Structure 1
Amino acid sequence: MYCVTVWRECDFYTDVEKAALELTEYVAQVATLRVPDELYERTRQHFSEKEYVNLVFAINQIISWNRLSVSLGFFATASE
């Protein structure tokens, strides 16, 4: 989990994982960034149409949970 924010610099993520992570970045900022056609095509090389739709729904669900948590004042704390 610590490396997910620097996934571009890590060599242990697969091409499938990298496509999903890049798509996640664009979906998270869809208000200001749209998913480029090139990224859509590259991601679809790794995911069927059904898998792509499921991935986009999963990304949006997690983003929604995060926004709800922040809006309600719930923040993760480091456990000791």
Structure 2
Amino acid sequence: MTQRINYVQQSPELFRKFLEFSNQLHESAIEVTIRDLVTLRASQINGCGFCVDMHVKEAHIHGERELRLHHVTIWRESTLFSPRERAALAWTEVLTKLPEHGVSDDIYEQVRTQFSEKELSDLTFQVMAINGWNRASIAFKAVPGSADKAYGLDKAQLA
């Protein structure tokens, strides 16, 4: 696969601002384990190879267990995720797929039992950010693994 254009070079200021926004999420009320699960799941749903590759490596660096990473696609059937993680994954899926009639009260209430208002707001911004990155990476065919060294993902030693 060959990247179409380098959107970082073409729109450096917009890239910098979006990266700044995404980096600010590291200071959010959402723990790193859930951030890793959310970014991986949204990237899987969207079919973003660059981002799936990146977020598997990030999660590995953060100490995530390999089996849990394999189970993210089957999280509903898996016994490896806590109720809070399941709620985050459900929220990620509904916001990534956006049903025709919006987010149901049932899903909102399910998620609301696991997250404070602040946490739910921060989680929503996390989902917004990864969906934005997915769209840029898919549109311009970002090559999986091509930014490993720049982002320190070579430390995952998963190549």
The question of 1:54 aligning with 2:122 is answered yes
Aligned to 1:2: 70
Which structure shows the bigger proportion of residues in helix conformation?
A: 2
Measure the CA separation in 1 of the matches of 2:140 and 2:100: 24
Change in CA separation of 1:33 and 1:62 when aligned onto 2, cut-off 3 Å: farther
- Is 1:67 paired with 2:157? no
TM-score using structure 1 length: 0.87
State the distance in 1 between where 2:101 and 2:93 align: 9
Q: CA deviation at 1:32?
A: 3.3
With 28-37 and 10-19 compared, the bigger mean Cα shift is at: 28-37
SS in structure 2 of the partner of residue 3 of structure 1: helix
| 1:74 to 1:59, Cα distance in 2 relative to 1, 3 A | same
What SS does the aligned partner of 1:13 have? Answer: coil
Report the RMSD for the aligned CA atoms in angstroms: 1.6
Once the 2 structures are TM-superposed, how far is the Cα of residue 31 of structure 1 from its aligned partner? 5.5
Counterpart mapping for 1:1-80 below 5 A: 1-30=69-98, 32=100, 34-76=102-144, 80=159
Task: Give the drift of 1:73.
Answer: 1.0
Q: How many residues align?
A: 79
Bigger Rg, which one: 2
The 3 A distance-change label for structure 1 pair 59 and 34 is same
Cα deviations by residue, 1:16-46 (Å, 9 ceiling, x for unpaired): 0001101111100116362110111111111
Paired residue type of 1:45: T
Contact in 2 for aligned 1:26/1:33 (Cα 8 Å): no
